[in-house]
Chain A
């Protein structure tokens, strides 16, 4: 059934159809509509869920951890400051191997207070052990929720899906919302092997001495390494049922491109339009949209950019002291391999600054006209 809904509501529908057992969430702009619609759904009994209206995001994640340990399918949503407040527990959730799914609406960090979009918030959590997926459209958001639970529960790792604040969260787009039966055929119930069970008691998360801890961390690594294959398989299963899919990276008109633009989120949508326009004018440009950021799809990126002269990474985020985060990761993936392009780094769209087609054209032009970029990235559209 197609409905015109905002990105936040796409999440709500996704959560409802995924038969989530426990939600714990705290409101923060621009996430609020997610939890508001879910509250209505709970009140209308459209969904059989306990919704804990906790008193902070930190408690939200703690409650999700508790609920997941006790065998519930859990969900929370947050953004920026709230996500940062959860940071300690993000590490905890991954270490505890709990398949919690969280929607993070990308928003810039204060001070100064800024409610508009920027992806630094979720990217700053890249070391926590969470799987990270970035969405470009409301349909993708809805679909990613379904895939998220399947991937997370298979690998026993928590997953956050991120999307741009206001551009997606508050923008209405047509979304095909499947019926419960179809979703059920794709996503079975959550059956954890180890959970809180009074008939088979265990102690969860005790102190581990050095003799065990490293192995526990290794188990996480192994799981994370396996996510790629699981994500691909889940996407295939998804495509079989829903006739659409996404993959871990998406290539757009890359075959004969002179320069590849690499980006994510709504910037990718704008980039597609720019590429089409440039191609009309004879400039063969292509794009790679990165959907899965963690685990970082190093092999896929390498395969996608091998043989190209130049790639331009457009980061809607900033890691002070080194540069754009996608750019760093891409650099690391390419390092030491032969036949790899020169990497141009661009920082654009921080704090909700519009990434216009013009910005992207400028970026493309710069890339075409220069041998190499600047270390640390060029800040596109900056008023200097």
Chain B
């Protein structure tokens, strides 16, 4: 039966003798029955919305499933040049947003990122990829110059993206180490320095110039930098120690956490007695504590609120406890006790949680007459880092210790942009990376005379502030996709079985404390693959064929010569089965316009 037109018999003699029908019904456009209509529309996975660096997580996990690790690495690098770093130290908000979390356990996205980066590094394929990038850069190199102040994650990310676009980038770093907090803040057992060096070299290999041991404001005037470049990106971070403000806080033996970590990370000796008291509850405090434990000290951490309020990563806190640190909650120092100029202990007071403050946390209030003494040979403070803007001109607008910027990072000074810990955003590595990317976009727009706000719609990923460099360089993004987040209720759980999350193997505590070797060993490829399979692929079609199979009207057709499907709108009746059975919310049902 090939005929597909309506047939009309004019006369009895036209009709077949027997009541037999020979014509196909496919001319009958049952699409006219519809009042709602399906449409393929990719949507944004919540992990990507939650990633301040804007990595295309869902897509690189797809690549991992196919064991295309190098392509996964390349995909991450389009947004974030620090996969080895983030795969180790990031606090993984992506996992907190993962839809799988509501089903069984979130996908081990953080560990998967590490696997990809480690693969690129150990097989040397990562370098090969950037070598190609560097060659491409030769073609699009411009005569423009950008200065980056500070070689931390924010600065280097900004440098990376700008170098890829074709700018001449110079990074000014005050210390002799490159990497900012990554090099001098985070200890080796969390972030091995050789891996950090490799990752930084990847960035620098694009032609980024770094001038170390040059402190702006001391060794060279800010204005000179500004005049010598088309734009400046400030990423000096927060490295000033906050004093305890109690009697005895300037005694020798009282160290700032940042100084302590810098010395440990650069291999210098630190004089420490047997008992070390660490004051603070953030990641710096934990880094300090765990480092001191590896120097064979007995460590006590004092925090003025409870464990629930500790800002440090949960994992860090629990590892510190496992390694032997004692956590003293609801305790604050009152004075340092010395004897003959040497610290022998500390007087503390018990706290209790009072009313909720402006930041949403309950204010710690000292409990009268609850003072107690703890033994200590050294006190290390990690109660928060402060910024130092002394090198900047007076007309820069500062607000409560942070440089004021617009949506993409422009400061109040024309041509000067800022990112990282000096702006008002959470002080995490991944946020710094995100701000570096935004800064690069802002700088590129500034130099080319474009209005960055005009692109926002095209490059924003969801509404948590992440942007995509890929969308920026492509000149377009799937706006509808980037605006529509896949929620847990949009996943069809009938297609997934509860399964165990891949477990990260750790070095045993005994072996850890022997030195500063990396504690987390990394997922094996088998376990990583199994975990990647658990990814729902929220919002992206994986060609699972469900829509194709379950259409009662054979109105979902395979595309010719490529993967994917199209709807036969002539016949689709709008029943909605395809949208319901799509496990990952790729099909939207919309009202039919008539």
Q: Judge A-B direct contact (beta carbons within 8 Å).
A: yes
Identity of the chain B residue whose Cβ is nearest the Cβ of A223 in the assembled complex? B17
A97 is contacted by which of B1, B17, B21 (Cβ under 8 Å)?
B17
Identity of the chain B residue whose Cβ is nearest the Cβ of A208 in the assembled complex? B19
Per the bound structure, the CA–CA distance linking A204 and B19 in Å amounts to 6
Decide yes or no whether A111 CB sits under 8 A from chain B.
no
Q: How large is the interface on B (under 10, 10 to 19, 20 to 34, 35 or more residues)?
A: 10 to 19
| Cβ distance B3 to chain A, nearest Cβ, rounded Å | 12
B1 is contacted by which of A201, A206, A219, A223 (Cβ under 8 Å)?
A201
Q: Which of A156, A202, A208, A218 has the most CB of B within 10 A?
A: A202
Identity of the chain B residue whose Cβ is nearest the Cβ of A206 in the assembled complex? B21
Q: Do residues B15 and A215 form an inter-chain contact, with CB atoms below 8 A?
A: yes
Q: Do residues B12 and A215 form an inter-chain contact, with CB atoms below 8 A?
A: yes
Identity of the chain A residue whose Cβ is nearest the Cβ of B25 in the assembled complex? A203
Decide yes or no whether B20 CB sits under 8 A from chain A.
yes
| Cβ distance A336 to chain B, nearest Cβ, rounded Å | 28
Q: Do residues A203 and B15 form an inter-chain contact, with CB atoms below 8 A?
A: no
| Cβ distance A194 to chain B, nearest Cβ, rounded Å | 5
| Cβ distance B38 to chain A, nearest Cβ, rounded Å | 30
B window 1-24: CB within 8 A of A: 1, 9, 12, 15-22
Given A201-B1, A202-B22, decide whether A219 and B17 contact each other with a Cβ distance below 8 A: yes
| Cβ distance A129 to chain B, nearest Cβ, rounded Å | 13
Q: B19 — which chain A residues lie within 8 A by C-beta?
A: 95-97, 204-206, 208, 216
| Cβ distance B19 to chain A, nearest Cβ, rounded Å | 5
Q: B15 — which chain A residues lie within 8 A by C-beta?
A: 212, 215-216, 219
B17 is contacted by which of A193, A202, A208 (Cβ under 8 Å)?
A193
Q: Do residues A203 and B20 form an inter-chain contact, with CB atoms below 8 A?
A: yes
A window 175-211: CB within 8 A of B: 193-194, 201-206, 208
Q: A222 — which chain B residues lie within 8 A by C-beta?
A: 12
Identity of the chain B residue whose Cβ is nearest the Cβ of A202 in the assembled complex? B20
| Cβ distance B2 to chain A, nearest Cβ, rounded Å | 11
Per the bound structure, the CA–CA distance linking A145 and B231 in Å amounts to 107
Q: Do residues B21 and A203 form an inter-chain contact, with CB atoms below 8 A?
A: yes
Q: How large is the interface on A (under 10, 10 to 19, 20 to 34, 35 or more residues)?
A: 20 to 34
B12 is contacted by which of A205, A206, A219 (Cβ under 8 Å)?
A219
Given A215-B12, A219-B12, decide whether A194 and B17 contact each other with a Cβ distance below 8 A: yes
Identity of the chain A residue whose Cβ is nearest the Cβ of B14 in the assembled complex? A215
Per the bound structure, the CA–CA distance linking A95 and B18 in Å amounts to 8
Identity of the chain A residue whose Cβ is nearest the Cβ of B21 in the assembled complex? A203
| Cβ distance B47 to chain A, nearest Cβ, rounded Å | 51
Q: B18 — which chain A residues lie within 8 A by C-beta?
A: 96-97, 156, 193-194, 204
Per the bound structure, the CA–CA distance linking A364 and B102 in Å amounts to 100
Q: A95 — which chain B residues lie within 8 A by C-beta?
A: 19
Per the bound structure, the CA–CA distance linking A212 and B22 in Å amounts to 15
Q: Which of B15, B16, B20, B21 has the most CB of A within 10 A?
A: B20
| Cβ distance A128 to chain B, nearest Cβ, rounded Å | 16
Q: A96 — which chain B residues lie within 8 A by C-beta?
A: 18-19
| Cβ distance A91 to chain B, nearest Cβ, rounded Å | 13
Q: Do residues A212 and B9 form an inter-chain contact, with CB atoms below 8 A?
A: yes
Per the bound structure, the CA–CA distance linking A216 and B20 in Å amounts to 10
B16 is contacted by which of A194, A201, A206, A223 (Cβ under 8 Å)?
A194
Convert B362-405 into 0s and 1s, putting 1 for each residue whose CB lies closer than 8 angstroms to a CB of A: 00000000000000000000000000000000000000000000
Per the bound structure, the CA–CA distance linking A96 and B16 in Å amounts to 11
Q: A97 — which chain B residues lie within 8 A by C-beta?
A: 17-19
Q: Do residues A202 and B21 form an inter-chain contact, with CB atoms below 8 A?
A: yes
| Cβ distance B258 to chain A, nearest Cβ, rounded Å | 83
Q: A156 — which chain B residues lie within 8 A by C-beta?
A: 17-18
Convert A84-103 into 0s and 1s, putting 1 for each residue whose CB lies closer than 8 angstroms to a CB of B: 00000000000111000000
Per the bound structure, the CA–CA distance linking A377 and B18 in Å amounts to 40
Per the bound structure, the CA–CA distance linking A41 and B19 in Å amounts to 35
Per the bound structure, the CA–CA distance linking A95 and B17 in Å amounts to 10
| Cβ distance B8 to chain A, nearest Cβ, rounded Å | 9
Identity of the chain B residue whose Cβ is nearest the Cβ of A218 in the assembled complex? B12
| Cβ distance A288 to chain B, nearest Cβ, rounded Å | 33
Q: B12 — which chain A residues lie within 8 A by C-beta?
A: 215, 218-219, 222
Per the bound structure, the CA–CA distance linking A179 and B196 in Å amounts to 104
Per the bound structure, the CA–CA distance linking A204 and B18 in Å amounts to 8
A window 356-376: CB within 8 A of B: none
| Cβ distance A226 to chain B, nearest Cβ, rounded Å | 12
Q: B21 — which chain A residues lie within 8 A by C-beta?
A: 202-204, 206
Given A216-B15, A219-B15, decide whether A194 and B9 contact each other with a Cβ distance below 8 A: no
| Cβ distance A60 to chain B, nearest Cβ, rounded Å | 21
Per the bound structure, the CA–CA distance linking A222 and B18 in Å amounts to 13
| Cβ distance A196 to chain B, nearest Cβ, rounded Å | 10
Q: B16 — which chain A residues lie within 8 A by C-beta?
A: 194
Per the bound structure, the CA–CA distance linking A203 and B18 in Å amounts to 11
Per the bound structure, the CA–CA distance linking A208 and B1 in Å amounts to 19
Q: B9 — which chain A residues lie within 8 A by C-beta?
A: 212, 215
Per the bound structure, the CA–CA distance linking A219 and B18 in Å amounts to 9
Q: B20 — which chain A residues lie within 8 A by C-beta?
A: 194, 202-204
| Cβ distance A63 to chain B, nearest Cβ, rounded Å | 18
| Cβ distance A69 to chain B, nearest Cβ, rounded Å | 9
Identity of the chain A residue whose Cβ is nearest the Cβ of B16 in the assembled complex? A194
Per the bound structure, the CA–CA distance linking A223 and B15 in Å amounts to 14
Per the bound structure, the CA–CA distance linking A97 and B18 in Å amounts to 6
Q: A194 — which chain B residues lie within 8 A by C-beta?
A: 16-18, 20
Per the bound structure, the CA–CA distance linking A156 and B19 in Å amounts to 12
Q: A223 — which chain B residues lie within 8 A by C-beta?
A: 17
Identity of the chain A residue whose Cβ is nearest the Cβ of B12 in the assembled complex? A215
Per the bound structure, the CA–CA distance linking A95 and B19 in Å amounts to 8
Identity of the chain A residue whose Cβ is nearest the Cβ of B1 in the assembled complex? A201
| Cβ distance A154 to chain B, nearest Cβ, rounded Å | 12
A-B contact pairs, 27 of them (CB 8 A): A95-B19, A96-B18, A97-B17, A97-B18, A97-B19, A156-B18, A193-B17, A193-B18, A194-B17, A194-B18, A202-B20, A202-B22, A203-B20, A204-B19, A206-B19, A206-B21, A208-B19, A212-B9, A212-B15, A215-B15, A216-B15, A216-B19, A218-B12, A219-B12, A219-B17, A222-B12, A223-B17
7 other A-B residue contacts (CB within 8 Å) besides A201-B1, A219-B17: A95-B19, A96-B18, A96-B19, A97-B19, A156-B18, A204-B21, A215-B15
| Chain A interface (Cβ < 8 Å from any Cβ of B) | 95-97, 156, 193-194, 201-206, 208, 212, 215-216, 218-219, 222-223
Closest 6 CB pairs of A and B: A203-B21, A202-B20, A97-B18, A215-B12, A194-B18, A194-B20
